[in-house]
C-alpha cells in the first residue's frame, strides 16, 4: 500500500507535488520520491518521510517541471531500500515515468516473461518496474511515429492482461501526455481532480481526495475498475474502460488506510467508520459485557468508538494520549520497529482509566502485539476489566494486494479463536465485527474481503499465495 500523486500543469508543479505528498504520508513512511518532466525527467527520492527527503521545499529548481509524479512507499514486495523507492523511469520506446499503489501477484512469471520474451532485465524487486516495463514493451509494438490515443489504450489493455493483482498507476509519456489506469477489479483507489488557472485547467490524480483539499483542487470522480484516463499534450481528456472484471474495492481502505477526511466512491471515510461502530454495538451487546467507558486507539479508531458508544449509550472517553510525532506503527517495515513505535506513541490517561471496566476499540487485530501492549498499559493504569474490540472481522488470510498481512503465520486469528486471543493479549474478552454485518453495510459496493474470507477476487492459487509469503519472508530477513 502506497500513496501516489500526479499533476499535469502548465508551470512548475514540484512544490505542489511535495506538499500534496504530505497529505498522503499516512499511506507510506519507508521512502518518498518525485519525478518531473520539462523536456527531460528529473528525479529526487530518498528514504524516510516527505519532510526528511524534501527538507528545503523552497529550493525545487533541480526538479522543476510542468508535470510530475509523487510517491510515498510502504513496503510489501521488495525490500525497503532506496533502490526500490519510486518513481521509476525508462527512456525507450518513449521516455516513460511511473508510480503505482498496490501489489503484483504474478511477479515471478512476469519477470520471466519480460526477460525471456522481451529481453528486459529488471534491476529492482519493486512492482512498479514490472508494470512499467510491461507497458513499455507493449507500447513498442505500436507505430511510434504516429502514436494515437487508441494505441495508448490498447497498450493499457495489453498491460492489464499481463499484470495480475491490485494496482493503480500514474505515468508520464514524454511529450505525449499523462496517463492513469487501474486494475480490472478496481481494488486500489484512484481519484481525479482539476483546478482552473489563468493558463488553463491543471489536472491531478491521487490515491485520496484529501490531497486535493490540501492543494485546492476540485474533485471530479473516482476511476472505475479497469479504466484508463489519458490527457494528451493539448490537455484534452480521454477515458476508456479497457479491461474490467468483477469490481472488488478493498474494504480495508475504509477500515484503516484512508484518512477520515477522504471521500472514496462517494463515501466519507469518517462516516463509514461511524456506521461500522454502530453495527459493532449489536455484536458487543450480544456478548453481555457492560463497560463503564469506551475508548479508542488513536487516531483511526475514534469514529468506530464514537459510533459504538452512541448506540450503546455508554460514555466515550479519550483514554489514550498519542504522541503526534510518531508515525503509523502498522506500516512500519519490521516487527521490532512496530513494537517500538507502539510503546512510544501511546500513553494512558490514568484518571480516566483507573477503576473502570474499559472497552478499547481498535481498527483491527492482525498480529496481536499492539493489543497485548495496550491491555498491559490499561491494566497498569488501574482498569478493573479490559475488553478489546476490533472494528474489522477476524483477519484470517494473507492479503496479497498490498497490505502487510501477507504471512499467515503472523496472523493471530488464522490460528486462534477469540477467547484464545483474549488469553494471549491478557484481555477479559475480545470482540470482533462480524463479516456478515460488514458485508451488509457494503451490499451496494462490491468489495474485496479476502483477508477475512480467503476469497481472492483475482482467483489466485495456493501456490501464488505461498510465493508471495516466501518473497515477503525473504524481504524481512536482515
Mean pLDDT computed over every residue of the chain: 91
Residue 174 has pLDDT above 80, yes or no: yes
User: What local confidence, expressed as pLDDT, does residue 365 receive?
Assistant: 96
Residue 108 has pLDDT above 90, yes or no: no
Q: How far is CA 386 from the centre of its chain?
A: 31
> In terms of domains, do 237 and 314 share one?
no
User: What local confidence, expressed as pLDDT, does residue 344 receive?
Assistant: 73
Catalytic residue annotation? 2
> In terms of domains, do 287 and 370 share one?
yes
Mean pLDDT throughout 311-324? 93
Question: Is 261 among the domain residues?
Answer: no
283-313 pLDDT, tens digit per residue, is 999 999 999 999 999 888 999 999 999 999 9
Domain termination residue (choose one: 186, 212, 247): 247
422-438 pLDDT, tens digit per residue, is 999 999 999 999 999 99
pTM given for the model: 0.92
The helix (H) or strand (E) run that includes residue 294 is: strand 293-296
User: What local confidence, expressed as pLDDT, does residue 331 receive?
Assistant: 43
User: What local confidence, expressed as pLDDT, does residue 475 receive?
Assistant: 64
405-421 pLDDT, tens digit per residue, is 768 888 999 999 999 99
Domain termination residue (choose one: 183, 214, 247): 247
Residue 442 has pLDDT above 60, yes or no: yes
Domain range for 397: 268-476
CA-based torsion, 454, 228, 1, 195: positive or negative: negative
> In terms of domains, do 243 and 273 share one?
no
Q: Which of 91-105, 130-144, 241-255, 398-412 has the lowest mean pLDDT?
A: 398-412
Tallying the residues shown for the chain, one arrives at 478
CATH number for position 169: 3.60.20.10
DSSP character for 316? B
Q: Which long-range contacts (CB under 8 A, 24 or more apart) does 196-200 make?
A: 197/9, 197/10, 199/10, 199/11, 200/10, 200/235
In the chain, % of residues over pLDDT 70? 92
CATH number for position 284: 3.40.50.2020
> Which residue carries 519490521 as its cell?
334
> In terms of domains, do 220 and 327 share one?
no
As a whole number of angstroms, the distance between CA 292 and CA 315 comes to: 7
Give the chain's domain count.
Answer: 2
Amino acid at each position: 500500500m502506497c500513496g501516489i500523486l500526479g499533476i499535469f500543469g502548465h508551470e512548475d508543479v514540484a512544490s505542489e507535488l511535495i506538499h500534496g505528498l504530505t497529505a498522503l504520508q499516512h499511506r507510506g513512511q519507508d521512502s518518498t520520491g518525485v519525478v518531473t518532466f520539462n523536456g527531460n525527467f528529473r528525479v529526487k527520492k530518498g528514504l524516510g518521510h516527505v519532510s526528511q527527503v524534501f527538507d528545503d521545499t523552497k529550493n525545487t529548481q533541480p526538479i522543476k517541471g510542468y508535470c510530475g509524479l509523487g510517491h510515498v512507499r510502504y513496503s510489501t514486495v521488495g525490500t525497503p531500500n532506496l533502490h526500490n523507492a519510486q518513481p521509476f523511469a525508462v527512456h525507450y520506446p518513449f521516455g516513460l515515468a511511473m508510480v503505482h499503489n498496490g501489489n503484483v501477484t504474478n511477479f515471478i512469471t512476469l519477470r520471466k516473461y519480460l526477460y525471456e520474451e522481451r529481453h528486459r532485465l529488471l534491476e529492482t524487486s519493486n512492482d512498479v518496474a514490472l508494470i512499467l516495463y510491461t507497458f513499455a514493451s507493449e507500447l513498442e509494438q505500436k507505430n511510434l511515429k504516429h502514436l494515437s490515443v487508441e494505441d495508448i489504450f490498447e497498450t493499457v489493455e495489453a498491460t492489464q492482461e499481463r499484470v495480475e493483482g491490485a494496482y493503480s498507476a500514474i505515468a508520464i509519456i514524454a511529450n505525449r501526455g499523462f496517463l492513469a489506469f487501474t486494475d480490472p477489479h478496481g481494488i486500489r483507489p484512484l481519484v481525479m481532480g482539476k483546478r482552473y488557472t489563468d493558463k488553463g485547467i491543471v489536472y491531478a490524480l491521487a490515491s485520496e481526495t484529501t490531497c486535493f483539499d490540501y492543494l485546492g483542487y476540485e474533485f471530479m470522480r473516482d476511476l472505475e475498475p479497469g479504466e484508463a484516463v489519458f490527457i494528451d499534450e493539448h490537455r484534452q481528456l480521454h477515458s476508456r474502460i479497457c479491461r474490467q472484471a468483477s469490481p472488488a474495492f478493498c474494504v480495508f481502505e475504509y477500515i484503516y488506510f484512508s484518512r477520515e477526511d477522504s471521500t472514496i466512491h462517494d463515501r466519507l471515510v469518517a462516516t463509514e467508520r461511524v456506521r461500522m461502530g454502530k453495527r459493532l454495538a449489536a455484536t458487543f451487546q450480544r456478548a453481555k459485557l457492560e463497560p463503564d467507558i469506551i475508548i479508542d486507539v488513536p487516531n483511526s479508531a475514534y469514529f468506530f468508538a464514537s459510533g459504538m458508544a452512541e448506540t450503546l449509550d455508554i460514555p466515550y472517553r479519550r483514554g489514550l494520549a498519542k504522541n503526534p510525532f510518531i508515525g503509523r506503527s502498522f506500516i512500519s517495515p519490521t516487527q521490532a520497529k512496530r513494537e517500538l513505535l507502539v510503546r512510544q506513541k501511546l500513553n494512558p490517561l490514568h484518571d480516566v482509566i483507573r477503576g473502570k471496566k474499559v472497552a478499547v476499540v481498535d481498527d483491527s487485530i492482525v498480529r496481536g502485539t499492539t493489543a497485548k501492549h495496550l491491555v498491559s498499559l490499561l491494566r497498569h493504569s488501574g482498569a478493573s476489566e479490559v475488553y478489546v474490540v476490533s472494528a474489522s472481522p477476524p483477519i484470517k488470510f494473507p492479503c496479497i494486494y498490498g497490505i502487510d498481512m501477507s504471512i499467515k503465520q503472523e496472523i493471530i486469528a488464522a490460528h486462534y479463536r477469540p477467547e484464545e486471543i483474549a488469553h494471549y493479549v491478557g484481555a477479559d474478552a475480545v470482540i470482533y465485527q462480524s463479516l456478515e454485518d460488514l458485508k451488509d453495510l457494503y451490499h451496494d459496493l462490491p468489495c474485496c474481503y479476502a483477508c477475512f474470507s480467503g476469497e481472492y477476487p483475482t482467483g489466485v492459487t495456493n501456490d501464488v499465495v505461498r510465493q508471495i509469503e516466501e518473497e515477503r519472508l525473504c524481504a524481512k530477513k536482515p
